[in-house]
Amino acid sequence: MATSDNTNSGGMSVREAGKRGGDRVKAKYGSEFYEAIGRKGGEATKTKYGPGFYEEIGQKGGQKMKRAAVDRTK
């Protein structure tokens, strides 16, 4: 099974492919493209969850989250 850093059959890694794709989109559309889609996503999130959602996740930003124990015997 390939991970994000492993190569598959001598090809590029998933991480490298993602970076190259992102670089090509940035070259084609410019960094303003990413700003615009980020703004649209933020507005959609605010519409769906309300402005209080950002306050809640902002408070969680500095907190370390506890991970639930995973049963790996299955």
45 class by beta-carbon count within 10 Å (0-12 exposed, 13-18 middle, 19+ buried): middle
What is the model's pLDDT at position 72?
63
pLDDT of residue 37: 94
What's the confidence (pLDDT) of residue 62?
73
Can you give the pLDDT at residue 49? 93
pLDDT, tens digit only, all 74 positions of the chain:
445 455 456 689 999 999 999 999 999 999 899 999 999 999 999 999 998 898 888 888 877 767 766 666 65
Which pLDDT value is given to residue 5? 52
